[in-house]
Amino acid sequence: MKTCIAALAWLASFAVLADPPAQVMNIYREGELSFAPSKTTPGISQAVIWGSPAKPNEVYIVRNRFSPGTFSRPHFHPETRYITVIKGTWWVGSGPKFDPSATTPVPAGSTVVHHPNQIHWDGAKDEEAVVQIMGVGPSATTRVDESGRPLQ
């Protein structure tokens, strides 16, 4: 009988656990994130976790998923971006010439800093890659041609 009461008390303890108040902290769980497909690259989806990348002087956090075999094309951003690889291996390249065979592997747990206005491209090869990106808006992605000129 004492064992049953102890087991019930233990189980009940999980039911009363609650998130701290939102004025103390915000918790965003993986299953609660809402991913939207990329408007420019099939196989990439993004969830905005915090802030708005479009707003000036606002910190933002986004999470990008790259399906296997999916790469962005050469592009740049106007702001510094701090990227942490959460899952898989993310492959990165630089310069205006797109060549997935000339990429550097960045495994889960690693961090990359993209400097402003520097041409790069990135993606996933044989497994899904998930990265979390933090920056200060306004953010934009400007694709470039093979000579490095912005596409119209």
Across the strands, what pairs with 120? 75, 94
Q: pTM for the whole thing?
A: 0.85
CATH code for the structural domain at 20-143: 2.60.120.10
Domain ranges of the chain: 20-143
DSSP 2-54: HHHHHHHHHHHHHHH--PPPTTT-----GGG---EE-SSSTTEEEEEEES-TT
Ranking 30-34, 81-85, 116-120, 126-130 by mean pLDDT, the lowest is 30-34
- The per-residue pLDDT for range 134-145, each reduced to its tens digit, is 999 999 999 999
Greatest Cα pair distance, the chain, in angstroms, is 78
How far is 65 from 9, CA to CA, in rounded Å?
40
Tokens describing residue 20: 């701290």
Decide: 131 and 90 in contact? Cβ < 8 Å. Answer: yes
**Amino acid of residue 97:** K
- The per-residue pLDDT for range 68-87, each reduced to its tens digit, is 999 999 999 999 999 999 99
**How many residues would you count in the chain?**
152
Handedness of CA 46, 47, 49, 53 (dihedral sign): positive
